[in-house]
Amino acid sequence: MSRRSPVALLGELIRIPSVNPEGDPGVQEPGEARLAEFLESYLRSLGAEAWLQPVLPGRPNVVARFPSDRPGKPRLLLAPHTDTVSVAGMTIDPFCGRESEGKIWGRGASDTKGPMAAMLTALTRLRDRLPTLSHEIWFAGLMGEESGQHGAKALAASEQFDFVIAGEPTDLKTVHAHKGSLWITLEAQGKAVHASAPERGENAIYAMSEAIERIRSVVIPQLDQLTHPLLGRTTLSVGTIRGGSKTNIVPDHCEATIDIRLVPGVEPLPIVEMIQMAASGLNLTYQSSKPLYTDPAHPLIRKLSSLGASPVGAPWFCDAAVFSANCMPSVALGPGSIAQAHTADEWISVIELEAGAEFFEKFLLSV
C-alpha cells in the first residue's frame, strides 16, 4: 500500500513505541521522542514547516504549519496526542501494527494513532490544495495527554488558534463538551509494630479505610447534586489503594488515589476542600484537568455536523479542554471507539479508519 493509505500509515505509527512514562509503562524506554521525530520528517515531506517544541526532557511536541497563499487567514489546528498508555498486561504484541480480521491491532490503534493516521492521510491527499483553503492549516502531535497534558499546555501558551480539533476516538462524532478530571492522592501515616501487639502501633490502613468510608457517605452524595444537562453528574471513584509491607507488621503507610470527573461549571478547589475535611489528618495532593464546553452553534461545529459528525458530550477528558480554557474553540473528533482505548488487545477497524480519513478530507475541503 502507498503512504496515502491510512492502514499502512497507522501500522507504521503503532510500530514506533510512544508510551507515556507515568506509572508502569511496561517498556524500558518510554516517551514520545521517536514518534515526534518521525512525524516531523513526515510533515516536512508534505511541504509543511515542522519543528520539535521542547516540553519535558526527551519528550517534545511536534508542530507543523502548512503553506498559505495569503496572510491573515484563521488558523485551524489538527491535534492528536503522541503518547499512549502503558502496554503492561496486553494480550497482543503492542507494537505489531498488523492488519487482520478487518482490524489494525496494537497500542494506540484507537487512542489515538488511528485518528492521527486519518488526519495525516487527509493532509497527504490534499497537500497541493492546503495553501488555497480558507484556513491556515496546522498540525500538532502533543505529548503527555494521558497524564498532565503538558504538551497541550505548552502549545496553547505559545500559539493561538481559531479552532482546534483534538484527535480522539469519538466514532466520528463531534465531542464539544466533556467532563474534567480531578485526581487526588491521599497518604496516611501510621506507626509500625509487630502484628502480635497491634495496640502499640497505629494502623495506616485503618486510617485510610475510615477516610474512604467518610468520603463515600458524605462527599459522594454532595457530588451527586453537581450536574450538567448534557453530561450528567459529577462522579467519584477510589482507583487504587496500597499499604503495608508484610502481613505480620502493622502498616505505617497507606496511599489511595481518587478519580473525580467534573462537569462544566464545577471548580476543583471546593471539592478538594471537601475531601480534605473527610480525610482529616491525611496528606493530600491533587492535579486537575478542565472540562470542555464549546458552543455547538460555532460555525465549524455546524460544518462538522453537516458532514455527519453530530455534536455530543463525553464523560472523559482530553487536550481539547486545554485550548478551550485558553479562549480557543475546541472539539475532539476522530474515527474509532473509546471502548477499544486502553484495552489489552487494542484495535481499530479498517472501515472506521478509512472513513475517518475520508471525513477529514471532506471537512478540510469544505472550510
Angle CA 159–160–163, to nearest 5: 130
Please state, in angstroms and rounded to a whole number, the distance separating the CA atoms of residues 53 and 133: 26
Please state, in angstroms and rounded to a whole number, the distance separating the CA atoms of residues 38 and 14: 12
In contact, 93 and 101? CB cutoff 8 Å: no
The dihedrals phi and psi of 304, each to the nearest 5 degrees, come to -60, -40
Nearest by Cα to 320 from 138, 149, 73: 149
Distance of alpha carbon 278 from its chain centroid, rounded? 30
Angle CA 282–288–292, to nearest 5: 150
Q: What is the dihedral of CA 230, 328, 40, 13, to 10 degrees?
A: 0
Element (H, E) at 205: helix 204-214
In contact, 236 and 259? CB cutoff 8 Å: yes
Please give the positions annotated as active site. 83, 145
Grid coordinates belonging to 15:
510500530
DSSP string, 2-58: -TT-HHHHHHHHHTS--B--SS--SSSS-SSHHHHHHHHHHHHHTT-EEEEEEEETT
With b for 16 or more beta-carbon neighbours within 10 A and e for fewer, the 62-82 pattern comes to: bbbbbebeeeeeebbbbbbbb
